[in-house]
Structure 1
Amino acid sequence: MKIVKNIILLVLIVFVIASVYLATLDGSYDVSRTRRIKADPEVVFNDLNDYRNWKDWGPWYEQDSTILVQYADNTIGEGGAYTWTSDIEGGGSIKTVEINKPDQIKQEIIFETPFGDMKSDIYWNLKKVESDTELTWGMKGELPFFSRFMASGMEDQLGPMQERGLELFDENIQRKLKIYSIDSIGVVDFSGGFYLYLTTSSKIDQMNPKLAEMMEEIEKFISKNRIRVTGNPYTIYHKFDQENGTTMFSVAYPVQERIITTDSDILTGFMDRGTYHKTILKGSYNNLEEAWQKAMFDAANLKEHTMQDSGEPFEIYVNSPDNTLDPSKLITEIYVPVQIR
Structure 2
Amino acid sequence: MKVLKKIGLSLLGLTAVLLIVSFFLPSKVTVVRSAVVKAPVSVVFEQVNMLQKWELWSPWHKIDPQMLLSYEGPDGGKDAKYNWFSNHPDVGNGSLTILESIPNKRIDTRMQFEGQGEGLAFYQFEETPEGTKITWTMETDMGSNPIGKYFGLMLDGMVGPDFERGLENLRAVVEQPTAAVR
State the match for 1:151 in structure 2.
Answer: 152
1:31 is displaced (CA, Å) by 0.9
Identical positions, percent: 23
SS of residue matched to 1:105: strand
Task: Give 4+ residue runs of structure 1 displaced > 6 Å after superposition.
Answer: none
Note if contact 1:49-1:76 (Cα within 8 Å) is conserved in structure 2.
yes
1:144 is displaced (CA, Å) by 2.9
- Larger strand fraction of residues: 1
Note if contact 1:68-1:84 (Cα within 8 Å) is conserved in structure 2.
yes
**Paired AA for residue 77 in structure 1:** G
Work out the CA distance in 2 between the residues paired with 1:45 and 1:62: 21
Q: Summarize the alignment of residues 1-341 of structure 1 with structure 2, pairs less than 5 Å apart.
A: 17=16, 19-89=19-89, 90-113=92-115, 117-130=116-129, 132-146=131-145, 147-175=148-176, 178-179=177-178, 327-328=180-181
Note if contact 1:59-1:161 (Cα within 8 Å) is conserved in structure 2.
yes
User: Could you give the per-residue CA deviations for residues 274-297 of structure 1, whole angstroms, max 9, x where no partner exists?
Assistant: xxxxxxxxxxxxxxxxxxxxxxxx
1:27 is displaced (CA, Å) by 2.0
Stretches of structure 2 lacking an aligned partner (at least 5 in a row): 1-8
1:102 is displaced (CA, Å) by 1.0
SS of residue matched to 1:74: coil
User: Could you give the per-residue CA deviations for residues 207-237 of structure 1, whole angstroms, max 9, x where no partner exists?
Assistant: xxxxxxxxxxxxxxxxxxxxxxxxxxxxxxx
Work out the CA distance in 2 between the residues paired with 1:164 and 1:131: 20
**Paired AA for residue 105 in structure 2:** D
Work out the CA distance in 1 between the residues paired with 2:181 and 2:85: 31
1:131 is displaced (CA, Å) by 5.5
Work out the CA distance in 1 between the residues paired with 2:57 and 2:93: 19
State the match for 1:268 in structure 2.
Answer: none
1:109 is displaced (CA, Å) by 0.5
Q: How many residues align?
A: 166
Work out the CA distance in 2 between the residues paired with 1:73 and 1:127: 27
**Paired AA for residue 61 in structure 2:** Y
Work out the CA distance in 2 between the residues paired with 1:33 and 1:132: 17
TM-score (norm 1): 0.46
**Paired AA for residue 34 in structure 2:** T
Answer with 1 or 2: which has the greater Rg.
1
RCO (CA 8 Å, sep 6+): is it higher in 1 or 2?
Answer: 2
Note if contact 1:66-1:88 (Cα within 8 Å) is conserved in structure 2.
no
User: Could you give the per-residue CA deviations for residues 72-115 of structure 1, whole angstroms, max 9, x where no partner exists?
Assistant: 132310001011111123211110111221111110101113xx
- Larger helix fraction of residues: 2
User: Could you give the per-residue CA deviations for residues 112-169 of structure 1, whole angstroms, max 9, x where no partner exists?
Assistant: 13xxx41111000111102610111111111132211111111111111111100001
Work out the CA distance in 1 between the residues paired with 2:111 and 2:53: 17
1:58 is displaced (CA, Å) by 1.1
Note if contact 1:83-1:94 (Cα within 8 Å) is conserved in structure 2.
yes
Work out the CA distance in 2 between the residues paired with 1:35 and 1:65: 24
Note if contact 1:40-1:131 (Cα within 8 Å) is conserved in structure 2.
no
TM-score (norm 2): 0.82
